[in-house]
Structure formats: structure tokens, C-alpha cells
Amino acid sequence: MLVEDTEIPGCHVLQATVLRDERGAFTKTFHALLFEDAKLRTDWAEEYFTLSKKGVVRGMHFQLPPAAHAKMVFCLTGRVLDVVVDLRKGSPAFGRALSFELSAENGRGLYLPVGCAHGFVSLSETSGMYYKVTSVYSPEYDAGIAWDSIGFDWPTTDPVLSKRDKSHPAFGDFDTPFIFAQD
């Protein structure tokens, strides 16, 4: 697995090696020693899996302190355009949205530090996303910003959204509690 920097400090592309043979494929999504060497968190507290139909946008999600978490995501089935926004005051990438195509085929994943919002749009008929997070889901600290308020050119104008995702405030109306800390 390769850990590649992005323009958002602390956010990394995880390029897994996908081994293919006549049976199918094998992909390792986590290696504790490699993560520790790259100074990435390994204290996972919860993991989950979502299935989304084509055109579904999920996001832009995060948890507020004290339940904020780092996150690792991989697309295990199908294909998504994954989007990350830096919410940390003082970050050189504050407010910047970056996107990455993740798929079962390309073996790419993302590591997101605390203070980044995360979302994606499903590009295939069905997409399965796998998440690991460093804190347990906490409804009272669950938060998000509106998907269409981050200055990003999504490949859809009329996505399928949850009621929750329709109710998030715009990025410009969000008073972020996250502060960038230089390592």
C-alpha cells in the first residue's frame, strides 16, 4: 500500500495493491505498521458499510468535538466520486474541496484527518463504501454542511439526498470548531 499526500494537510490517498487471479481479487485496506510509520491514526473505534444507488450524494459529514474522528474510506463495490473539504481554521487548504475517484477496480482509498468533511456521489448503479472511524457515532455531535455549498462542481445537479443531508447548513454559515495544528 502506498500513502500519498494530497493538497489538504493530513488527508492522504491510500493506494492499495489489488491482487487479481482467476478467482477474483484480494485487496488489503489497512496495515497498522504502515499507518504508524506514516503517522496516521490506528485507534479505530467503529466501522461500517453503505450501499448507494447511482446519483445518491451522501455528505458532507463529520462529527464535532469532543466526538470528532479521523476516517478511512474505501469503495468496495462500484465507483464513487469522493469529496473532502478542509474545515480547519488556519489550514492552508481551509475551505478547499478535493475529489478522488474510488472504485473496487482502482483500489484507492482515503485517510481523512479530524476536521475534514466527507461525502461522495455514487457513479455506478450501486456503490458500496467501507468506513473506519476513530470515535463511536454520537448523534449529539453528528454534523454536516450542505453538499452544494462547498464550491465544488459535482457531476449531478439533482442528486438523491437524505432528509438529514438536505438540512445541513451552507459552508459559509458553519462556524467551525476545528483548528489546524501543524505536526
Query: What does the block give as the cell for 135?
Result: 470515535
Cα(85)–Cα(15) distance, rounded to whole angstroms? 20
User: What Cα–Cα distance (Å) separates residue 133 from each residue in 36, 112, 174?
Assistant: 16, 9, 23
Cα(88)–Cα(125) distance, rounded to whole angstroms? 34
**Count of CB atoms situated within 10 Å of the CB of 84:** 29
User: What Cα–Cα distance (Å) separates residue 14 from each residue in 2, 46, 110?
Assistant: 6, 19, 5
Residue 130 annotated as catalytic: no
Query: What does the block give as the cell for 72?
Result: 478511512
Active-site entry in 12, 111, 118, 131: 131
Active-site entry in 12, 61, 118, 168: 61
Cα(62)–Cα(87) distance, rounded to whole angstroms? 10
Cα(73)–Cα(151) distance, rounded to whole angstroms? 22
Residue 131 annotated as catalytic: yes
Map residue 57 onto helix, strand or coil: strand
Annotated catalytic residues are 61, 131
